[in-house]
Structure 1
Amino acid sequence: MHANIYIPEEFLKNIEEIMPSHLDMASFISACQKPLRKSIRVNTLKISVTDFLKRAEAKGWELEPVPWCNTGFWITADESEIPLGNTAEHMSGLFYIQEASSMMPVSALFQNNEKYQAVLDTAAAPGSKTTQIASLMNNEGVLVANEYAASRVKVLHANIERCGVRNAALSNFDGRVFGGWLPEQFDAVLLDAPCSGEGTIRKDADAMKNWSHQSVLDIAETQKDLIESAFHALKPNGVLVYSTCTLSTEENQQVCHHLKETFGDAVEFETLDTLFENAQAATTEEGFLHIFPQVYDCEGFFVARIRKLASVTPPKVKKRMGKFPFSKAPSKIQDEVSSLLLEALDVTLPSDSQVWLRDKDVWLFPAALEPMIGEFRFSRMGIKIAETHKKGYRWQHQVATTLATGNESNIIKLCIEDAREWFMGRDVRPESIPGKGEVLVEFDGAIIGLGKWVGNRIKNGLPRELVKDKNLF
């Protein structure tokens, strides 16, 4: 498929200089010319791995475990008629299509099954690592997901919504701002840094078209700024994972050593040689993972795990914060929202969340976000759960996808034909006795949305950005 990929001669010379002695250039070039194996990650916010494996077997999907992620699998599936992205399992958020290498940074962040209360994902879109972090946090605490490119924030939000993430706060800034604006606020930080993308040629034959050694040096300077900012945002004893999908030492080892040179004994490199079986085959002397594509038959990748051993003086910034448009709901309203939601949909509000109000909208924020409110400007926080109207509350889609467990009493189960109609944004007429009010909608064991009875039909409440138009399961 990629036999004619473009690989600059200067790049090959650089690779030959840095490649470990037990590897050879012929196998490197051969690996670069092979297409990537498709891989997915099970979203345990929605389904257990055991239950997903049963579904996969029933569909004839062949799965091979990814060694560094216990929810990741390489997949072989017939996509001639229905792409994986248009299956019911994907659309209801049961799995995420994610390159196997990109699962590694989050696994490194949670290497020892750590529990974090506040996590920062510095460059989050499209959301593969954000949703992976949220699943390992079990939707608890707060996850700040930042994306510099405004055009990609919408995609990020759609993915966290599909996957049932409710503890996220989204922002749209250059990642270099966090060290000054939110110093020592996070227990863990993931910096999956923008890079030259040398490791991605297996999925993009033109990835190296604009490559030059000078561009590598230029982007490395940005990476050094980003890693300093991430380190400042980290609490003492916190963990920073730095990763790229590139191979050059300038963008990888040298960036990490720059951090060590800047902050000295406050920086400790923690080895990743036991992260998974045979990890030592790609581990550097510092304990970093420097992965050439032929080693594990995946993308080229780099991962470093760094511990902050002491406080360092953060940069000073002048904050200009506009008026915060939300107000925390009084306990009376919090209790009212909680009791009415339970009455209407048999859904319980999580104890680690708080109700906030903005005009007629009712939002649920993670309680762990509160220390950052007023210190930083977020583009979206938590989930919108209701709109107020004269007769009470009109519940919103994310109540179904992030709060419902599937054990509620007010659930309508759809057949496959009605489920297709639902995902295409159309109302459905299930073969059940018509009811009243709002109702949770389920297909094949997964809650897929929220509707409202209007006569003998259920009015579709699927957000426009999640509507599909063809080739559905």
Structure 2
Amino acid sequence: MAQINPDYLTHIASELPEHLNMDEFIAACHRPLRKSIRVNTLKITVDDFKQVMNSKEWKFEPIPWCKEGFWITHDDSQQPGNCVEHIQGLFYIQEASSMLPPQALFNELLTDDIGQQAPIVLDVASAPGSKTTQLAALMHNQGLLIANEYSSSRVKILHANIQRMGVNQTALTHFDGNVFGEYLYEKFDAILLDAPCGGEGTVRKDVNALKNWQLDDVTEIAETQKQLIESAFLALKPGGSLVYSTCTLSQIENQHICHYIQQQYPDSVEFIALNHLFENAEKACTSEGFLHVWPQIFDSEGFFVAKIHKKTSVPRLKKCPKQQRNFPFVSANEKQTNAVAEYLLKTFNIIIPEQFNVMIRDEEYWLFPAKFSQFIGLMRFQRIGFKLADVLKKGFKVKHEAIIALSDSIENQDRVIELNRQQAIEFLMGRDIPTNEIIGLDVKPAGEMIVSFHNKPLGVVKHLGHRLKNNLPRELVKDKIETK
């Protein structure tokens, strides 16, 4: 059972809206969270995913604010995080309330022609990647998504999730979030600031989240949040939208932060009401139009979401920093681009999409989102786009992440071998696959090929005739996979 500091209960009782009951709030805090997932539409449609999971007898209850999100029920023996479909990125295990901020940011852009708009978006605090990958899906992998994470260890987790989910238009940075207003002043069409916070809303999954709550800690972190929201607002283009969100409940970290930025820039800040974001959203809306989601309202985690429109430009607080030197990549020339494109087409039937630029570093070929070119030299990036191939003495060697990122660019399937579930498990565990176990497969050696499951690529093998040699990167090999 959740352990709640009595001082917290006294504090939050003074902030609970009149139409809500304190006893119901406490009871909700003591209930476990419902399990929820988001279907990754970069790889599969919602209907196809439900059909795929029929064999597991999952039951789906729609999450009102996210058409790709569902509360799920399943056999207690199942572990969704260990199933093949999760490993191959068909879904993300994500708390329902955390799906709100990306939806709020893009609720006016959820159309099929977003590729024509191709926005440039910043996610200020990205790891582990639930909201980043959701943003990428809402953007249909178009435009440019810069994902920042301050913790170096969490950058690795962020990159792993981006790769697994087939996100291909990102650039990763590793900075304190308050640098963006200085380095990337008014560069972004939209910004998500899911700010570090006290985490009061997470008590349903972390019973100790409120055990040692202190008001001084809340006040201290609010000062950091003020710096972050001002930096984000400076990095936003005039006419753009900023979503500020937290997984906490105190107004000090929520409404007060939004009022702070309005006081700093009264002529430029406009709050956008979210009471029509989804059906019954008004139950969680404040007078300003913010979503203050108490756990008992939708039986979810506690959350806060505010949307801010930047009406006019605001003065830059610091001078433009000096350009970054020693950018290690150069643009591939026409001959080099054609050579790697021919290799991909001939070997895998993959066509390089137009929204990428081929770049070279040493003996490596990379694909950068085309819109990234305007950011070269402005700041240091941890990782841009994805590695396409390594140069060999004769030809190229494709990278696993390129196969996953370009899965939608496969022209036809004659270079793809569809595996059954047991074979897919064997592949993900790093094992070779005997060709005599695959019905209809020609045993004549055929070189590099793609293996897939549910017609979604898992990785690359080398067809040696009697077996498919596994080329899955060692760091992606799994020790435990659910067999059902």
Q: Paired residue for 1:161?
A: 163
Alpha-carbon displacement from aligned partner over 1:347-383 (angstroms, at most 9, x marks no partner):
1111100100010111000001110011111101101
Counterpart amino acid of 1:341? L
Unpaired runs of 5+ residues, structure 2, are none
Counterpart amino acid of 2:355? D
Alpha-carbon displacement from aligned partner over 1:5-59 (angstroms, at most 9, x marks no partner):
2111111111111111010110000000000000000000000011112123332
Is residue 104 from structure 1 mapped to residue 100 from structure 2 by the alignment?
Answer: yes
Q: Paired residue for 2:269?
A: 267
> Are the aligned partners of 1:418 and 1:430 in contact in 2 as well (CA < 8 Å)?
no
Q: Paired residue for 1:142?
A: 144
> Are the aligned partners of 1:108 and 1:241 in contact in 2 as well (CA < 8 Å)?
yes
Is residue 193 from structure 1 mapped to residue 189 from structure 2 by the alignment?
Answer: no
Of the three residues 426, 433, 447, the one matched with 2:442 is: 433
> Are the aligned partners of 2:198 and 2:218 in contact in 1 as well (CA < 8 Å)?
yes
Q: Paired residue for 2:475?
A: 465
> Are the aligned partners of 1:56 and 1:62 in contact in 2 as well (CA < 8 Å)?
no
Q: Paired residue for 1:386?
A: 389
Counterpart amino acid of 1:148? Y
Instruction: Describe the SS at the equivalent of 1:243.
Output: strand
Structure 1 Cα separation of the partners of residues 435 and 207 of structure 2: 47
1:284 CA drift (Å) = 0.5
1:316 CA drift (Å) = 1.8
Q: Paired residue for 2:181?
A: 179
Structure 1 Cα separation of the partners of residues 363 and 73 of structure 2: 47
Alpha-carbon displacement from aligned partner over 1:186-240 (angstroms, at most 9, x marks no partner):
1000000000000000000011233210000000000000000101111110010
Is residue 25 from structure 1 mapped to residue 35 from structure 2 by the alignment?
Answer: no
Structure 2 Cα separation of the partners of residues 265 and 404 of structure 1: 46
Is residue 328 from structure 1 mapped to residue 331 from structure 2 by the alignment?
Answer: yes
Instruction: Describe the SS at the equivalent of 1:47.
Output: coil
Structure 2 Cα separation of the partners of residues 124 and 381 of structure 1: 15
1:320 CA drift (Å) = 6.4
> Are the aligned partners of 2:389 and 2:397 in contact in 1 as well (CA < 8 Å)?
yes
Query: Greater CA deviation, 452-461 or 159-168?
Result: 452-461
TM-score of the superposition, structure 2-length normalised?
0.95
Structure 1 Cα separation of the partners of residues 247 and 477 of structure 2: 32
> Are the aligned partners of 1:347 and 1:408 in contact in 2 as well (CA < 8 Å)?
no
> Are the aligned partners of 1:123 and 1:148 in contact in 2 as well (CA < 8 Å)?
yes
Counterpart amino acid of 2:364? D
Query: Greater CA deviation, 204-213 or 347-356?
Result: 204-213
Instruction: Describe the SS at the equivalent of 2:387.
Output: strand
1:112 CA drift (Å) = 1.4
Distance 1:55 1:71, change over 3 A: same
> Are the aligned partners of 1:414 and 1:430 in contact in 2 as well (CA < 8 Å)?
no
- Where does 1:322-401 land on structure 2 (aligned, <5 Å)? 322-401=325-404
Instruction: Describe the SS at the equivalent of 1:102.
Output: helix
Q: Paired residue for 1:423?
A: 428
Instruction: Describe the SS at the equivalent of 2:101.
Output: helix
Of the three residues 435, 446, 455, the one matched with 1:445 is: 455
Q: How many residues are treated as equivalent by the alignment?
A: 469
Structure 1 Cα separation of the partners of residues 47 and 268 of structure 2: 42
Structure 2 Cα separation of the partners of residues 205 and 415 of structure 1: 40
Query: Greater CA deviation, 53-62 or 32-41?
Result: 53-62
Structure 2 Cα separation of the partners of residues 253 and 438 of structure 1: 56
1:79 CA drift (Å) = 4.1
> Are the aligned partners of 1:362 and 1:387 in contact in 2 as well (CA < 8 Å)?
yes
Counterpart amino acid of 1:70? K
Structure 1 Cα separation of the partners of residues 15 and 248 of structure 2: 13
1:333 CA drift (Å) = 1.5
Instruction: Describe the SS at the equivalent of 1:207.
Output: coil
Query: Greater CA deviation, 18-27 or 319-328?
Result: 319-328
Structure 2 Cα separation of the partners of residues 190 and 463 of structure 1: 32
- Taking only aligned residues, the RMSD between alpha carbons, in angstroms, comes to 1.3
Is residue 309 from structure 1 mapped to residue 314 from structure 2 by the alignment?
Answer: no
Distance 1:79 1:424, change over 3 A: farther
Instruction: Describe the SS at the equivalent of 1:341.
Output: helix
Instruction: Describe the SS at the equivalent of 1:63.
Output: strand
Instruction: Describe the SS at the equivalent of 1:222.
Output: helix
1:133 CA drift (Å) = 0.5
Query: Greater CA deviation, 60-69 or 320-329?
Result: 320-329
Counterpart amino acid of 1:100? A
> Are the aligned partners of 2:8 and 2:210 in contact in 1 as well (CA < 8 Å)?
no
> Are the aligned partners of 2:323 and 2:379 in contact in 1 as well (CA < 8 Å)?
no
Query: Greater CA deviation, 208-217 or 377-386?
Result: 208-217
Query: Greater CA deviation, 309-318 or 347-356?
Result: 309-318
Instruction: Describe the SS at the equivalent of 1:306.
Output: strand
Q: Paired residue for 1:60?
A: 57
TM-score of the superposition, structure 1-length normalised?
0.97
Unpaired runs of 5+ residues, structure 1, are none
> Are the aligned partners of 1:158 and 1:465 in contact in 2 as well (CA < 8 Å)?
no
Is residue 41 from structure 1 mapped to residue 43 from structure 2 by the alignment?
Answer: no
1:455 CA drift (Å) = 4.2
